[in-house]
Amino acid sequence: MSRVGVVAWNTFREAVRDRVLYNLVFFALLMMAAAILVGQISIGIEQIVIVTLGLSAISVIGSLIAVFIGVGLVSKEMDKRTLYALLAKPVRRWEFLLGKFGGLLLTLAVNTAAMAAGLFAALAYVKHPLVRSDAVVLVAVYFVLLKLALVVALALLFSCYTTPLLAILFTAGLYVSGMFVTEMRGFHSEAMSPALQTFLRWLSYLLPNFENFDVMGRAAHGEAIPGSLVLANTAYAAVYCVILLTAAAAIFSKRNLK
């Protein structure tokens, strides 16, 4: 196994040993159960609620894990002084970062898969049998995972040069900003100078666009998502993660760890 793989696997094992993860999965399954009850007190939206509540739970819980564990990936190793022992071995700093990223992403993938299984179980409970169009929910889950990969990369970048608390704030701030990219791009005001408008427009392309991954409405109504969008979003997340991880590696490589 490569050095990156070893770090990733150990990060995954450490996360699995962390009881917080189990609690969050349990919470997600509870949300699925709640979805069934919510469906009973409304009219005609049983399946829609299962999908929207399920996807929301997957997104919220995944984001919490991504942010809170993501910002601790480096700082925890430094606090426990295990980082020094690790870097004394033939492991480059960028390999360590990439391994940490991969490990948390693997954790999130397993977590998301478990929650998606719960979502489909709940969906099958209220709507049997499942039909082909329900596969769109899987695409929505995949998009949530892509979004989480971006969040982990952001958290990792900030954790390389600032405190965990600030890293959480910066990551959360960029996440929320990334949900308003369209508004930012289309915002026009007479009071605003053309230079500022141009700046906002450029900024809207620089910020991670989390709106790209928002297909919850389509998934809830069983509307197909084009394969080209799946490919484009995958490429977007991959390229953005590469940029963020490269920046993180550059910062971490120059950081004085003494």
Q: Which listed residue (24, 25, 52, 119) binds another protein by CB under 8 A? A: 52
**Closest to 212 in 3D by CA, of 154, 149, 167:** 149
Alpha carbon distances (Å) from 140 to 57, 101, 192, 214? 13, 22, 37, 8
For the bound state, the minimum distance from the C-beta of residue 44 to another protein, rounded and expressed in Å, comes to 4
Nearer to another protein, 173 or 217 (CB): 217
Which listed residue (1, 37, 44, 191) binds another protein by CB under 8 A? 44
Nearest-approach distance from CB 107 to another protein, in angstroms: 22
Does position 180 interact with another protein (CB under 8 A)? The reply is yes
- 3-state SS string over 25-61? HHHHHHHHHHHHHHHHCCCCCHHHHHHHHHHHHHHHH
Q: How far is the CB of 235 from another protein (least distance, A)?
A: 20
Task: From 231, 65, 209, select the one nearest 142 (Cα to Cα).
Answer: 231
Asked if residue 56 binds another protein (CB under 8 A), the reply is yes
Helix or strand run (H / E) with residue 79: helix 72-79
**CA dist., res. 73 & res. 10, Å (int):** 12
Q: Which is nearer to another protein, 87 or 169 (CB)?
A: 169
Residue 18 touching another protein (CB under 8 A): no
- Could you tell me the CA-to-CA distances from 173 to 122, 155, 169 in Å, in that order? 33, 11, 6
Question: From residue 58 to residue 77, what is the string marking binding to another protein with x (rule CB under 8 A)?
Answer: -x------------------
CA distance readout (Å), 139 to 61, 65, 216: 18, 21, 10
> Should residue 216 be labelled a site residue for another protein when binding is judged by CB under 8 A?
yes
| Contacting range for another protein; rule: CB under 8 A; set: 4-12, 37-45, 149-157, 233-241 | 37-45
Binds another protein (CB under 8 A): choice among 92, 203, 211, 242: 211
Where do contacts with another protein occur on this chain (CB under 8 A)?
38, 41-45, 48-49, 52-53, 55-56, 59, 176, 179-180, 183, 210-211, 213-214, 216-217, 220-221, 223
